[in-house]
A and B are shown apart, each in its own frame.
Chain A
């Protein structure tokens, strides 16, 4: 494999992603636009804690830490999955580019993965900004003891499984311009619900908890919390990492197989360029 060539491709696609995201306005406006949503998002959830604290008359710093870190780190996964899944809908229905992408890039699967990279970078920056704001609003000032190597490993593994889930979902949206955006939002919403983002997954009813066990989100989120503050111990850290790695491996394989099969099928059925005319 020619690594230099691969990196050049990834760079070119990331640049395209960046341009598509940002070239509609001035850099300052784009920065404000990028920050506004997560800032108000974290305020929205921080005030859930504030409302609880006011009504109960007592503070619960560990609950605040859980909620703020969960919502903040969700920016990484939420942005990443959106960055991958939205591409098919956007290129086919909005810009009518999918056919050109298809014939100019060797693998649509690789293209989708590369399109998500910029979104993960932005998502991570937003996570850090959100944590700062969330801690301030909820009055938390924890002395963080980060584990940087674990943080980096967890970010990479998270990107791998999240991109794979995104690619699997994209392969479904190849068949439906109508449901593409809905599928994208549903997967994001589902990960938010079952992924120990704002409450521990064990609070879920058993049938939903089973779904939570099938996804690597819960492990990823708990490890992110632990990696920025090692005094937060979510259980067996090594066990969580191994479990997440195994699930990541499964989703990477699944996305490869499913995408190959459905990509072939959609071309056979002539549905690749079927737009909705929304």
Chain B
């Protein structure tokens, strides 16, 4: 595979995604307001329970990070399903552009677009509910954040490969991956409230590890040394997921071709 072609394909796909995702300002507004509805519900629930104030920060950070998971599921995972439905997948497969390059472009575009939404969620949520974060811990939080994105989006590339084989059932699989991951990642609460066996399972998911690290940094002012385990876990996950995603992509493409399902819609 030509590296130059790989980079050009990634750049071209990222450009389309960023340009397309920001062309309509009302979309951005919806994508910020919608998660804020759920975040506000949980914040009000905590306030009515008279829970400790740091829980409000947990909820806002959880809601912001969850938008990356939704982007991985629906913007990365399911994107090949949409390309299949609209007839673009045939074009992708017949051009010399490597599929990995296209998926990398989708990942970069998705990260950039979602980052603007997530940041808006944090800013608006913090202002509306008067939440304070430890700004001095921002560098550690940023490192954890970037490593989390790396691991999450390599996972997204792996998920996308499933859509080369499956369509409607793949879509349902993406739906299935919403609530369980929200639960296990501690979207609205610290992971420490989960039973030990669930905490062990949670440590296998990049979102859970990343969210926990970011919360520890921004709410409890944890230093980078205290977040060493988080960094190590996220680096390991990124390497393993990148390797697995590449293998899975090749395998699913081969399997979809020999079974004639590559461009079969609606099954």
Binding site for B on A (CB under 8 A): 24-25, 33, 36-41, 43-45, 47-52, 54-56, 60, 63, 67, 94-95, 178-179, 182, 185-186, 189-190, 192-193, 197-200, 203-204, 277-278
Whether B41 contacts A199 by the Cβ 8 Å rule is: yes
Select from chain B the residue with minimum beta-carbon distance to A93: B85
Q: What B residues does A37 contact at CB under 8 A?
A: 175-176, 178-179
Those of B224-245 within 8 Å (CB) of chain A: none
B95 within 8 A of A: no
The A interface, classified by DSSP as helix, strand, loop or mixed, is helix
Those of B162-218 within 8 Å (CB) of chain A: 168-169, 172, 175-176, 178-180, 182-183, 187-190, 193-194
Q: What B residues does A278 contact at CB under 8 A?
A: 82, 85-86
Whether A199 contacts B37 by the Cβ 8 Å rule is: no
Given contacts A37-B176, A41-B179, A193-B40, 12 further A-B contacts (CB under 8 A): A33-B172, A44-B183, A50-B189, A51-B55, A52-B46, A55-B51, A55-B55, A179-B26, A193-B44, A197-B41, A199-B48, A204-B44
Complex CA gap A60/B48 in Å reads: 12
Complex CA gap A67/B41 in Å reads: 11
Whether B37 contacts A192 by the Cβ 8 Å rule is: yes
Complex CA gap A185/B31 in Å reads: 11
**Minimum CB–CB distance for A25 against chain B, Å:** 6
Complex CA gap A47/B202 in Å reads: 15
Complex CA gap A95/B168 in Å reads: 11
Those of B24-62 within 8 Å (CB) of chain A: 24, 26-27, 30, 33-34, 37-38, 40-42, 44-52, 55
The B interface, classified by DSSP as helix, strand, loop or mixed, is helix
Q: What B residues does A185 contact at CB under 8 A?
A: 34
**Minimum CB–CB distance for A133 against chain B, Å:** 12
Complex CA gap A198/B188 in Å reads: 13
Q: What A residues does B38 contact at CB under 8 A?
A: 189, 192-193
Whether A186 contacts B193 by the Cβ 8 Å rule is: no
Whether B44 contacts A36 by the Cβ 8 Å rule is: no
Whether A193 contacts B37 by the Cβ 8 Å rule is: yes
Q: What B residues does A51 contact at CB under 8 A?
A: 51, 55, 188-190, 193
Q: What A residues does B37 contact at CB under 8 A?
A: 186, 189-190, 192-193
**Minimum CB–CB distance for A177 against chain B, Å:** 13
Select from chain B the residue with minimum beta-carbon distance to A60: B49
Q: What B residues does A49 contact at CB under 8 A?
A: 49
B266 within 8 A of A: yes
Q: What A residues does B34 contact at CB under 8 A?
A: 182, 185-186, 189
A48 and B42 in contact (CB under 8 A), knowing A24-B168, A37-B178, A186-B37? yes
Complex CA gap A224/B86 in Å reads: 44
User: Can you give 29 A-B contacts (C-beta < 8 A)?
Assistant: A24-B169, A33-B172, A33-B175, A33-B176, A36-B179, A37-B175, A37-B176, A37-B179, A40-B179, A40-B182, A41-B183, A43-B183, A44-B182, A44-B187, A47-B194, A48-B188, A48-B189, A51-B55, A52-B51, A55-B52, A56-B50, A56-B52, A178-B24, A185-B34, A192-B38, A193-B44, A199-B45, A200-B48, A278-B86
